[in-house]
């Protein structure tokens, strides 16, 4: 049909041209009445004429010349069918040698003549109808589709629970929904009602959408998916109409699952915010509340919604009977990360040296999406390096790229800046090695990444759900390691610790205001809402006095000062180790966990106790030496003697 629509303008032009030709050819034929024809016949010389004799009339067509003129004119006239008229026509039309032809009146039907005359108008009418209907498809007809649901339907979902790793407890929470969708009778016989709604809460990238699709795949039911923002439009009432249409379509496909992603876009609290709420969004939410648990019962429809902002949702949406169950999808632990890596490594060509368990240990705090990105970045790096398999070096670089961005190897340091960055990162490493509750050092590098001049990968010694006060203090002390090292070695500080200061200040404030880990006692001074845009407590101010605010500032400063003194003490006691790690970083630029441990235990990069494979020397032909002038070896990086001199000079200056 679309192909024919492209040819319509051409057909239209051809039709117009043919119609003009047709009517122009009839333009010289004069339509006469009977009286006019009798007057012309007295002075005209007829040539070819045709009589079409019907029951009551005689249709006469032909051509004639008038006296004194050579021009030939056409005529058409209708004469009553009488015997006298027929004799007169035969005499008049053949009087001057004209030829007369009697035509069969049934040769051309009235319907055929009518159809021939109507064809041009029919073509023009069809053309305009198709053109207007095509315009209406994107215009006026769309007005009726504007209020229809934008939910996408998948009838055969391929995702299963085996494709979702790292959330075993969450799977158990939704298994009853699968059983209900498969066999609802055993629940109704027991008098049980399956939850109408399941709210999945968790950080971004933890697999909330994937888990919802897996539920639909395991239950083998249709899966309606829509985003919360698809409901809200500029025109009031559109979102509510779309909600009604979505549930109407879902009712036809029941049992089914309706998945609403980012429900906080439409489910925020009503009447909140500066200047009131949004009428369109609130009407949409009202309709959603009614559809989920209102005057009608949507049997067989299970609503699954996902959000990472449950604190902004309307209380009416979270009550029992609507979202009965809340499933928290947290970041995976080490076992969950290993399972997720195994799922995403199915189609990856991994080398024999790749250990997914080791990779999971080095990625605490990574979500499922982050882990998938690590493996994908590793595969891209392997292709870039023209390798046949993904090696551990590729994955190690991929972790750094995901966390900090690509390495800026082209960025050149001055020797002074390189030494400064080396001591800064070495300070973090020493605190991680010598402080019991500090994070464990995995990797230290002075190669710039992102906005950071250096990079220190430190992971918790073991993953915990609750953190003690000593662990928070150790975290602050570790963050102060770089800045304190600069003070100790160079006698001044740089702006490189800005991110460290931001993190440690946040931790110290939370210790005082949220966790009650100070002399102010177990009182929470932080605003539990923290969302000014919701309009709550906007005019109430803080929930403590100015005097308490000053006490909070003193406690925060006290915590940081104590950690700073402890950090300085550790670095002064381990100054030799600090210098050794800094010197090694200047020479090698990157140190691994094993190399840093060897520096601490043996004072060198390698372990002297490990056996070294000694290869037997090969017999080679000894030739006479030729005296040649050997050019001096060019310096590479910082020479050891220069570095020793710089360190001695700094030590003397400090003493």
For residue 344, say whether it is annotated as part of any ligand binding site: no
Average pLDDT for 614-628: 47
Task: Give percent of the chain with pLDDT exceeding 90.
Answer: 14
Cα atoms found within 13 Å of the Cα of residue 439, Cβ hemisphere only: 23
d(C-alpha 394, C-alpha 351), whole Å? 10
The chain-wide mean pLDDT, for the chain, equals 78
Output the six-digit token pair for 348: 């990856």
For residue 209, say whether it is annotated as part of any ligand binding site: yes
Average pLDDT for 103-123: 67
Assign residue 273 a region: left if phi > 0, alpha if psi is -120 to 50, beta otherwise?
left
For residue 296, say whether it is annotated as part of any ligand binding site: no
Query: 627: pLDDT confidence band, cut at 50, 70 and 90?
Result: very low
Query: 234: pLDDT confidence band, cut at 50, 70 and 90?
Result: low
- Pairing assessment for the beta strands 44-53 and 99-103 based on DSSP bridges: parallel
For residue 203, say whether it is annotated as part of any ligand binding site: yes
pLDDT score at 272: 63
Output the six-digit token pair for 417: 């800046």
In Å, what is the CA distance from 636 to each residue of 586, 605, 629, 640? Answer: 11, 19, 21, 10
Query: 568: pLDDT confidence band, cut at 50, 70 and 90?
Result: very high
For the four alpha carbons of 524, 525, 530 and 536, in that order, the dihedral sign comes to positive
DSSP 315-380: HHHHSTTTS-EEEE-PPP-HHHHHHHHHHHTTT--B-TT--HHHHHHT-TT--HHHHHHHHHHHHH
Query: 501: pLDDT confidence band, cut at 50, 70 and 90?
Result: very high
For residue 424, say whether it is annotated as part of any ligand binding site: yes
In this structure, what DSSP letter does residue 449 have?
B
Of 159 and 645, more confident: 159
128-142, 266-280, 437-451, 517-531, range with the lowest pLDDT:
128-142
Return all residues near 310 (Cβ < 8 A) that are at least 6 apart: 199, 201, 264, 318, 326
Q: Report the C-alpha dihedral over residues 312, 315, 319, 322, rounded to 10 degrees.
A: -70
d(C-alpha 408, C-alpha 449), whole Å? 6
For residue 207, say whether it is annotated as part of any ligand binding site: yes
d(C-alpha 392, C-alpha 358), whole Å? 10
53-67, 253-267, 435-449, 614-628, range with the lowest pLDDT:
614-628
Average pLDDT for 338-351: 90
d(C-alpha 412, C-alpha 431), whole Å? 28
- Pairing assessment for the beta strands 256-261 and 301-307 based on DSSP bridges: parallel
d(C-alpha 223, C-alpha 214), whole Å? 10
pLDDT score at 527: 59
For residue 205, say whether it is annotated as part of any ligand binding site: yes
Query: 58: pLDDT confidence band, cut at 50, 70 and 90?
Result: confident
pLDDT score at 135: 54
Is residue 22 reached through a cis peptide bond, with omega within 30 degrees of 0 on the bond before it?
no
The phi and psi torsions of 459 (rounded to 5 degrees) equal -120, 155
Average pLDDT for 544-556: 89
174-183, 493-502, 636-645, range with the lowest pLDDT:
636-645
pLDDT score at 565: 94
| Whether 263 contacts 288, CB under 8 Å | no
Assign residue 413 a region: left if phi > 0, alpha if psi is -120 to 50, beta otherwise?
beta
For residue 193, say whether it is annotated as part of any ligand binding site: no
Domains of the chain: 2-125 (no CATH), 152-328 (3.40.50.300), 334-404 (1.10.8.60), 415-528+543-601 (1.20.58.760)
pLDDT at 82 over 70: yes
Query: 140: pLDDT confidence band, cut at 50, 70 and 90?
Result: very low
Cα atoms found within 13 Å of the Cα of residue 89, Cβ hemisphere only: 27
Average pLDDT for 544-573: 92
In this structure, what DSSP letter does residue 166 have?
S
H or E stretch at 441 = strand 440-445
Query: 537: pLDDT confidence band, cut at 50, 70 and 90?
Result: very low
For residue 206, say whether it is annotated as part of any ligand binding site: yes
Q: Furthest-apart CA pair in the chain: how many Å?
A: 147
| Whether 270 contacts 236, CB under 8 Å | no
For the four alpha carbons of 471, 579, 498 and 637, in that order, the dihedral sign comes to negative
Query: 415: pLDDT confidence band, cut at 50, 70 and 90?
Result: confident
pLDDT at 514 over 80: yes
Average pLDDT for 205-222: 87
H helices, E strands: number in the chain: 23, 14
pLDDT score at 133: 63
pLDDT score at 572: 92
pLDDT score at 631: 43
Of 4 and 625, more confident: 4
- Pairing assessment for the beta strands 152-154 and 223-227 based on DSSP bridges: antiparallel
For residue 204, say whether it is annotated as part of any ligand binding site: yes
pLDDT at 561 over 90: yes
SS3 59: strand
Return all residues near 603 (Cβ < 8 A) that are at least 6 apart: 580
Cα atoms found within 13 Å of the Cα of residue 456, Cβ hemisphere only: 30
pLDDT at 485 over 60: yes
Could you tell me which of 210, 212, 220, 223 has the C-alpha nearest to residue 183?
Answer: 220
d(C-alpha 266, C-alpha 227), whole Å? 9
pLDDT score at 103: 75
Query: 532: pLDDT confidence band, cut at 50, 70 and 90?
Result: very low
pLDDT score at 587: 87
pLDDT score at 170: 84
200-214, 334-348, 527-541, range with the lowest pLDDT:
527-541
Query: 99: pLDDT confidence band, cut at 50, 70 and 90?
Result: confident
In this structure, what DSSP letter does residue 452 have?
B
Question: Which residues are known to be catalytic?
Answer: 425
pLDDT score at 558: 94
pLDDT score at 9: 64
Average pLDDT for 488-506: 89
For residue 500, say whether it is annotated as part of any ligand binding site: yes
Could you tell me which of 283, 313, 358 has the C-alpha nearest to residue 201?
Answer: 313
d(C-alpha 340, C-alpha 165), whole Å? 5
pLDDT at 636 over 50: no
Of 645 and 219, more confident: 219
Could you tell me which of 305, 330, 308, 331 has the C-alpha nearest to residue 318?
Answer: 305
**Partners of residue 652 on adjacent β-strands:** none
Ranges assigned E (strand) in 483-605: 590-592
pLDDT at 534 over 50: no
- 164-173, 532-541, 606-615, 646-655 — which one is most confidently predicted on average? 164-173
Query: 373: pLDDT confidence band, cut at 50, 70 and 90?
Result: very high
Output the six-digit token pair for 574: 């381990």
Return all residues near 327 (Cβ < 8 A) that are at least 6 apart: 170, 173, 174, 198, 199, 200, 201, 211
d(C-alpha 524, C-alpha 47), whole Å? 117
pLDDT score at 166: 82
| Whether 151 contacts 249, CB under 8 Å | yes
d(C-alpha 219, C-alpha 178), whole Å? 5
| Whether 198 contacts 323, CB under 8 Å | yes
pLDDT at 350 over 60: yes
């Amino acid at each position: 049909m679309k192909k024919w629509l492209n040819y319509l303008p051409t057909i239209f032009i051809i039709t117009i041209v043919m119609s003009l030709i047709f009517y122009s050819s009839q333009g010289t034929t004069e339509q006469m009445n009977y009286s006019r024809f009798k007057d012309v016949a007295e002075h005209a010389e007829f040539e070819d004429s045709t009589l079409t004799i019907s029951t009551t009339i005689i249709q006469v067509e032909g051509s004639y010349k008038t006296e004194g003129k050579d021009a030939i004119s056409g005529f058409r006239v209708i004469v009553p069918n009488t015997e006298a008229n027929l004799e007169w026509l035969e005499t008049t039309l053949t009087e001057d040698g004209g030829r007369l032809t009697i035509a069969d009146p049934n040769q051309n039907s009235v319907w055929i003549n009518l159809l021939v005359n109507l064809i041009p108008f029919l073509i023009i009418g069809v053309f305009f109808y198709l053109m207007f209907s095509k315009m209406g498809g994107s215009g006026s007809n769309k007005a009726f589709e504007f209020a229809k649901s934008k939910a996408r339907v998948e009838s055969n979902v391929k995702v299963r629970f085996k494709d979702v790793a790292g959330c075993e407890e969450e799977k158990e929470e939704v298994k009853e929904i699968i059983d209900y969708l498969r066999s609802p009778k055993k629940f109704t016989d027991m008098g049980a009602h399956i939850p109408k709604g399941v709210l999945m809460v968790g950080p971004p990238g933890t697999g909330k959408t994937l888990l919802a699709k897996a539920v639909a795949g395991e239950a083998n039911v249709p899966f309606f998916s829509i985003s919360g923002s698809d409901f809200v439009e500029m025109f009031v009432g559109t979102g509510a109409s779309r909600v009604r249409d979505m549930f109407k379509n879902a009712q036809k496909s029941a049992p089914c699952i309706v998945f609403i992603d980012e429900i906080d876009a439409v489910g925020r609290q009503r009447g909140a915010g500066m200047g009131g709420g949004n009428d369109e969004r609130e009407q949409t939410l009202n309709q959603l509340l009614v559809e989920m648990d209102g005057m009608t019962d949507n049997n067989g429809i299970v609503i699954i919604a996902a959000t990472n902002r449950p604190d902004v949702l309307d209380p009416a949406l979270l009550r029992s009977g609507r979202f009965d169950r809340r499933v928290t999808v947290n970041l995976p632990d080490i076992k969950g990360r290993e399972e997720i890596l195994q799922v995403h490594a199915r189609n990856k060509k991994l080398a024999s040296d790749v250990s997914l368990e080791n990779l999971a240990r080095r990625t605490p705090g990574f979500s499922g999406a982050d882990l998938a990105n690590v493996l994908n970045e590793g595969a891209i790096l392997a292709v870039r390096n023209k390798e046949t398999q993904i090696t551990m070096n590729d994955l190690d670089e991929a972790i750094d790229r995901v966390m900090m961005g690509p390495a800026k190897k082209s960025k050149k340091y001055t020797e002074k800046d390189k030494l400064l960055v080396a001591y800064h990162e070495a300070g973090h490493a020493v605190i991680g090695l010598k402080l019991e509750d500090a994070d464990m050092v995995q990797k230290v590098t002075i190669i710039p990444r992102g906005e950071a001049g250096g990079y220190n990968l430190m992971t918790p010694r073991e993953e915990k759900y609750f953190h003690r006060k000593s662990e928070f203090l150790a975290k602050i002390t570790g963050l102060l390691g770089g800045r304190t090292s600069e003070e100790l070695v160079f006698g001044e500080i740089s702006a490189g610790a800005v991110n460290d200061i931001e993190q440690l200040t946040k931790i110290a404030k939370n210790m005082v205001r949220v966790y009650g880990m100070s002399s102010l006692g177990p009182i929470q001074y932080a605003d539990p809402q923290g969302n000014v845009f919701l309009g709550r407590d906007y005019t109430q101010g803080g929930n403590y006095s100015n005097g308490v605010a000053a006490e909070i500032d003193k406690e925060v400063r006290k915590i940081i000062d104590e950690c700073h003194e402890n950090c300085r003490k550790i670095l002064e006691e381990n100054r030799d180790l600090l210098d050794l790690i800094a010197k090694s970083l200047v020479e090698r630029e990157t140190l691994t966990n094993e190399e840093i441990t060897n520096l601490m235990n043996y004072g060198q990069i390698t372990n002297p106790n490990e056996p070294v494979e000694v290869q037997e020397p090969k017999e080679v032909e000894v030739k006479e030496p030729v005296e040649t002038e050997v050019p001096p070896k060019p310096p590479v990086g910082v020479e050891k003697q220069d570095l020793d001199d710089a360190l001695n000079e700094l030590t003397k200056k400090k003493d």
